[in-house]
Chains A and B, each alone.
Chain A
């Protein structure tokens, strides 16, 4: 096994045992990128020089034994909607094509302080809007398991980079499933923490009331470690909560014996691929075998989730994206007057999906429609949240599929946005309710494509879903599979 294939915790142990240096580890990852990213195209920017400098710095700290951070010297990738000081941040949009931020996102600063090596910025659907990583202004990313397929989205670049060993682990953002859905497509672990658990400061906003930063890793322990490093209150983010951060990595063991796991009947419906359903059912059976009590539960407002999401997310996005107007940074069109400068800059700078969502959101908020759309959606959102509150009265976590299908083919759904929107049908409710959820591999379909299992937790109970995920992972082999083993 090459160094680049190591998990975060294994890489950290290897560095601590001096079996390799951070520079060697970083070179291995850079070599891997050089070898495979021409096909996969997970990255938008690879910061070779910066990564080497940071690795040398990390080696110095490692030799001085001054830091006990498990991230010290470990090469990580960031979705290109995290602001990185001095390193181009595009959000996969032409409108920010040459934008170099003057400051680091809070999570990026935390990674840097922990000594992590930031290798580069990964591809995404423009402004994190999409479920396939095809809606990038620059190029689509390919699924490492099958180059004809999408890696999922919007954090498709981060998912593909982790799956292809082009980094040790990565961070993504999840507004309606953008971490978990590509994690499922790429056979890795993706964790969306509770809303408010991780700072959003310095993340290019898509939908402020749902966006959340989370880890994308090769196994569950890595997710726990990475979450530990980025979680916590940030005075610069008014929506981040003041709650102590548990030692997630120490809460993994203990198994599922006696835990009550809810299985919502509304999540197993027509339209999902039979192989996905079978794999998820097998996973549930495995958890039951380990001593979990499986409860049949109902989340009655599930069918409204996609509609509600596309009202609220687009409304917030239409406002959040207003600042990209060509005035202070980013793309500015040459035009005759002020109004035309606005219109043309945005016309040229934004892609079709972004424009579609801005228009939807603008409409939903406009006078005369606000009550019918935005306010109504907020009311239904409250009902969806209440569904979960009621469900959690009788269970400790909820187990569902992450996606109704495995990764689809590139181009297959780009002509039909509504079809594309449905690929997040199992993940969206979680964002509307602000809950934590994790996706981890639970099998493969006949074509050898990974299938994701989603575990949803109570608010701020990341520890329980990590424990359930770890128990499942330890009993199975899925997470050890690599795309090249596919056969």
Chain B
């Protein structure tokens, strides 16, 4: 029997606020354990939460950008459970009345546009982190992350393959990045995802048994984990077996999912409205203000890249898949206005290098080996006829290793293209003199020899001669 996968994703996006959601502590990543804490975020007796206005604004931004309805009077709720990294014994989250509901985003799936519905977007605080096996047989707790603001973005089970899931996540990540609400960094966990996967006989409209996969922190892991689950579940069902609703973890090394304790699913969180926080009332003016301030989103930017820069859809899509890339492209184009050539360099040579240096999944554009302006400069040198496209590859390689500007490299190494007729003529004469036999062959009608002779001249000039000039002069000499 054929099985159809049904996938829904829950994404946690850490917000780019300076301070935590309910206190003034810093959200900076990588601080000394427990350095970014205060009585409020470590849940001392007597403390009270005060909602960070910026978090609400970011949630509104995300909701409006994904066509959600904004809940005019939403509530913060307590999710009660005990865990050492949860200082208050409850997490402040949203439950019955999330701030945003019923949105959608459009994704590209094999050339077609697919609409994926969003169930809800809600605000919540992050928990801390337990560190095991570092101190004898006890565990340590770092509460720096406790109270860091998150948006949880929940999709409807509208996705039908691992590819669709990845496409959805990339699109969503680009949106939150373009909005400036989340840096999208999966490695540091600021954009993380749980997947709900079930399979059902193809054509059925009933939902199968839902398996939740946690611990997914790269696109690769997501893709593999979902694909693994689809196959595993299909196999179980084909073999006449039954699936139980459970939470599974993705094991990166063994490339398989495995069951977490099943107790987890029986948890009763005893949600109720947090009495320390009044209902969150959002007036129409605020919504209008946030809407008016929404930046250009990936889809719009892609359209603009296609129209304004005359880029093909494929390049435009690649260049707008992340905000840092799109910004990089536009910065390079500002330095030198040949969008098509700049785009080719980015999508081709630069992406290859980023992949080699494993910088393609990271978000430190300042760590990229070539500054946008310098890439623009490189293309300008080609367009100005100062270097050939071929020499440009050499210059680019040198830019990577030395970090110097392309102009600098060209001057230092004397790579400037030679268009000066007299010096080229001298080289041509030398080549003709040294290749009497070939000249004879050419003259007797072997046209292919012309290419050989051009090559010899280029070689003699170290590749710097303007090929067009060489062509013209050589033809004239051989007449």
The size bracket of the interface on B is 20 to 34
Given contacts A327-B84, A365-B270, contact A202 B89 (CB under 8 A): no
- Cβ of B275: which chain A residues have Cβ within 8 Å of it? 207-209, 239, 316
A335 to B433, CA, bound (A): 96
Contact string, A337-380, partner B, CB cutoff 8 A, digits 1/0? 01000100000000000000000001001110010001000000
For A89, give the chain B residue with the smallest CB separation. B45
A318 to chain B, nearest CB (A): 8
B46-54, B108-116, B151-159, B285-293 - the one binding chain A: B46-54
Q: Is B268 an interface residue (CB 8 A)?
A: yes
Report chain B residues within 8 Å CB of A321.
89
Q: Mark A200-227, 1 if CB is under 8 A from B, else 0.
A: 1111110111000000000000000000
Query: Are A366's CB and B268's CB within 8 A?
Result: yes
Q: Give chain A residues whose Cβ lies under 8 Å from the Cβ of B452.
A: none
Determine the residue in chain B with the shortest Cβ distance to A363.
B270
A236 adjacent to chain B (CB < 8 Å):
yes
Q: Which of A94-102, A141-149, A392-400 contacts B (4 or more CB under 8 A)?
A: A94-102
Query: Helix, strand, loop or mixed for chain B's interface?
Result: loop
Q: Are A102 and B276 in contact (CB under 8 A)?
A: no
Task: Give A290 Cβ to nearest chain B Cβ, in Å.
Answer: 39
A276 at the interface (CB under 8 A from B): no
Q: Which residues of B contact A237 (CB under 8 A)?
A: 48, 50
Report whether A328 and B272 are in contact in the complex, using a CB–CB cutoff of 8 Å. no
Of the residues B80, B268, B272, contact of A322 by C-beta under 8 Å = B80
The reply to whether A342 and B82 form a contact with Cβ atoms under 8 Å apart is yes
- The residue among B47, B49, B88, B90 with the most chain A CB atoms within 10 A of its own CB is B47
Q: Are B80 and A201 in contact (CB under 8 A)?
A: no
Question: How distant is the Cα of A96 from the Cα of B272 in the complex, in angstroms?
Answer: 26
CB distance A365 to B44 under 8 Å? no
Is A96 a contact of B45 with CB atoms below 8 Å? yes
Nearest-neighbour CB distance to chain B for A332, whole angstroms, equals 11
The CA of A220 and the CA of B164, in the complex, are separated in Å by 71
> Quick check: A325 and B82 within 8 Å, CB to CB?
yes
Contact: B90 with A322, CB < 8 Å? yes
Given A322-B89, A323-B88, A367-B268, A238 contacting B46 (CB threshold 8 A): no
Asked if A256 lies at the interface with its beta carbon under 8 angstroms from chain B, I say no
Q: Which of B45, B50, B268, B276 has the most CB of A within 10 A?
A: B45
Within 8 A of B (CB), among A275-296: none
**Does B300 count as interface, using CB distance less than 8 angstroms?**
no
- Please pick, from A99, A238, A328, A374, the residue contacting B87 in the complex, using a CB distance under 8 A: A328
Q: Which residues of A contact B50 (CB under 8 A)?
A: 235-238
Interface bits B35-49 vs A (CB < 8 Å: 1, else 0): 000010011111111
CB pair B276 A239 closer than 8 Å: yes
> A238: which B residues are within 8 A, CB to CB?
48-51, 276-278
Q: Complex formed: what's the CA distance from A338 to B274 in Å? A: 27
A319 contacts partner chain B, Cβ-Cβ < 8 Å:
yes
Check if B78 is an interface residue, CB within 8 A of chain A: yes
**Which A284-320 residues sit within 8 Å CB-CB of chain B?**
315-316, 318-319
Q: Are A365 and B80 in contact (CB under 8 A)?
A: yes
Residue of B nearest to A327 (CB): B84
Residue of A nearest to B272 (CB): A365
B56 on interface, CB distance cutoff 8 Å: no
Cβ of A55 under 8 Å from chain B: no
* C-alpha gap A91/B45 in the complex (Å): 10
Whether A161 is near chain B, meaning CB under 8 Å from some CB there, is no
Cα(A65)–Cα(B271), bound, Å: 54
Among candidates B46, B271, B272, residue contacting A204 with C-beta atoms closer than 8 Å: B46
Q: How far is the CA of A101 from the CA of B46 in the complex (A)?
A: 10
Task: Check A315–B272 contact: CB distance below 8 A.
Answer: yes
- How far, in angstroms, from A91 to B268 measured CA to CA in the complex? 29
Distance from B33 Cβ to chain A, minimum over Cβ atoms (Å): 14
* Distance from A321 Cβ to chain B, minimum over Cβ atoms (Å): 8
Nearest neighbor of B269 in chain A, beta-carbon distance: A367
A167 proximal to B (CB < 8 A)? no
Q: Which of A176-203 contact B (CB under 8 A)?
A: 200-203
Q: Most B CB atoms within 10 A — which of A315, A319, A370?
A: A319
Per the bound structure, the CA–CA distance linking A91 and B46 in Å amounts to 11
B352 to chain A, nearest CB (A): 49
List residues of chain A with CB within 8 A of the CB of B297. none
User: Once the chains bind, are A200 and B44 in contact (CB under 8 Å)?
Assistant: no
Which A residues are CB-close (under 8 A) to B84?
A: 327, 338
Cα-based distance from A319 to B46 in the complex (angstroms): 13
Q: Which A residues are CB-close (under 8 A) to B274?
A: 208
Interface residues of A in 216-275 (CB under 8 A from B): 235-239
Cα A103 to Cα B44 in complex, Å, equals 10
B460 within 8 Å of A by Cβ? no
> For residue B49, which residues in chain A have a CB less than 8 angstroms away from its CB?
238
Check: A403 CB closer than 8 A to any chain B CB: no
**Residue in chain B with minimal CB distance to A240:** B48
B341 at the interface (CB under 8 A from A): no
CB distance from B31 to the nearest CB of A (A): 19
A102 touches B89 (CB 8 A): no
CB-CB under 8 A for A203 and B276, given A238-B51, A322-B88, A323-B87: no
Q: Which residues of A contact B87 (CB under 8 A)?
A: 323, 327-328
| A329 is an interface residue with CB less than 8 A from chain B | yes
Known: A101-B46, A201-B48. A319 touches B78 (CB 8 A): yes
Q: Which residue of A lies closest to B80 (CB)?
A: A319
Query: Does A83 have its Cβ within 8 Å of any Cβ on chain B?
Result: yes
**Is residue B141 contacting chain A, with contact meaning CB distance below 8 A?**
yes
**A315–B273 CA distance with the chains assembled, in angstroms:** 11
Bound-state CA distance A328–B44 (Å) is: 9
Contact of A105 with B by CB under 8 A: yes
The CA-CA distance from A319 to B49 in the complex, in Å, is 14
B82 cross-chain contacts in A, Cβ below 8 A: 322, 325, 342
Give Cα A323–Cα B84 distance, bound, in whole angstroms: 10
Cα distance A202–B46 when bound, in Å? 4
14 residue pairs bridging A and B, Cβ less than 8 Å apart: A83-B44, A83-B46, A101-B44, A101-B45, A205-B276, A207-B275, A209-B275, A238-B49, A238-B50, A318-B80, A319-B80, A319-B90, A325-B89, A328-B43
**Closest 9 pairs (CB-CB, A-B):** A322-B89, A208-B275, A209-B275, A365-B270, A202-B46, A83-B46, A204-B45, A323-B43, A367-B268
